Structure 1
Amino acid sequence: MKTFLKSLVAVLLVALPVAAQAGTVTVKGSDTMVILGQRWAEEFMKKNAGAKVQVTGGGSGTGLAALQNGTTDIAMSSRDIKKAESDKLRAKYNTAAEEIPVAKDGVTFYVNEGNPVNALSVEQLRGIYLGDITNWKEVGGPDAPIVVYSRENSSGTYVFVKDNVLNGEDYVASAQTLPGTAAVVNAVAKEKHGIGYGGSAYAKGIKELKVKQGNEEIAPTADNIKSGKYPLSRNLYFYLRNKPAGEVKAFIDYALSPEGQAVVTKVGYFPVK
Structure 2
Amino acid sequence: MKIKKRNLLGVCLIIGALFTGCGSKKSTIIELKGSDTILNVSQGIAEKYMAKNPDTKIAVTGGGSGVGISSLLNKTTDIAMASRSMKEKEYEKAEEAKVKVQEIVLGYDGITIIVNNDNQVKDISSKKLGEIFRGEITNWKDIGGTDSPIVVLSRDSSSGTHEFFKEHIIREGKKNQKEYGSQTLYAPSNQAIKQEVKNNINAIGYIGMGYMDDTVHSLAVDGITPSVENVADKSYPIAREVYWYVPENSDKSEAIDNLVDFAISKDGQEIVKNEGFIPRSL
Matched, 1:241 2:231: no
Matched, 1:208 2:218: yes
Select between 162-171 and 127-136 the one with higher mean Cα deviation.
162-171
Matched, 1:103 2:107: yes
Question: How far apart are the structure 2 equivalents of 1:183 and 1:224?
Answer: 26
Q: Is the contact made by 1:89 and 1:241 (CA closer than 8 Å) also made in structure 2?
A: no
SS of equivalent residue, structure 2 residue 97:
helix
Question: How far apart are the structure 1 equivalents of 2:141 and 2:196?
Answer: 21
TM-score using structure 2 length: 0.86
Q: Is the contact made by 2:32 and 2:79 (CA closer than 8 Å) also made in structure 1?
A: yes
Select between 132-141 and 236-245 the one with higher mean Cα deviation.
236-245
Q: How far is the alpha carbon of 1:203 from its aligned partner?
A: 1.3
- Partner residue of 2:134? 130
- Partner residue of 1:14? none
- Partner residue of 1:155? 159
Q: How far is the alpha carbon of 1:242 from its aligned partner?
A: 1.5
Q: How many residues align?
A: 249
Q: Is the contact made by 1:109 and 1:208 (CA closer than 8 Å) also made in structure 2?
A: yes
Matched, 1:93 2:98: yes
SS of equivalent residue, structure 2 residue 30:
strand
The letter of the residue matching 2:49 is F
Which is greater in Rg?
Answer: 1
- Partner residue of 1:47? 52
- Structure with a larger share of its residues in helix: 1
- Partner residue of 1:228? 234
Matches within 5 A, 1:1-273: 23-93=28-98, 95=100, 97-167=101-171, 168-204=177-213, 205-212=215-222, 217-242=223-248, 245-273=253-281
Question: How far apart are the structure 2 equivalents of 1:191 and 1:54?
Answer: 35
Q: How far is the alpha carbon of 1:243 from its aligned partner?
A: 6.3
Q: How far is the alpha carbon of 1:23 from its aligned partner?
A: 1.9
Question: How far apart are the structure 2 equivalents of 1:90 and 1:157?
Answer: 25
Q: How far is the alpha carbon of 1:241 from its aligned partner?
A: 2.3
Q: Is the contact made by 2:155 and 2:162 (CA closer than 8 Å) also made in structure 1?
A: yes
Question: How far apart are the structure 1 equivalents of 2:54 and 2:236?
Answer: 40
Question: How far apart are the structure 1 equivalents of 2:255 and 2:246?
Answer: 13
Per-residue CA distance 1:188-230 (angstroms, 9 max, x = gap): 0011110000100111210011011xxxx10011111011111
Q: Aligned pair in 2 of structure 1 residues 94, 106: CA closer, same or farther (>3 Å)?
A: closer
Identical residues among aligned pairs (%): 37
SS of equivalent residue, structure 2 residue 170:
coil
SS of equivalent residue, structure 2 residue 232:
helix
Q: Show structure 2 runs of 5+ residues with no match.
A: 1-17, 20-26, 172-176
SS of equivalent residue, structure 2 residue 44:
helix
Q: Is the contact made by 1:93 and 1:241 (CA closer than 8 Å) also made in structure 2?
A: no
Select between 167-176 and 130-139 the one with higher mean Cα deviation.
167-176
Q: How far is the alpha carbon of 1:66 from its aligned partner?
A: 0.2
The letter of the residue matching 1:68 is L
Q: Aligned pair in 2 of structure 1 residues 112, 243: CA closer, same or farther (>3 Å)?
A: farther
Q: How far is the alpha carbon of 1:48 from its aligned partner?
A: 1.0
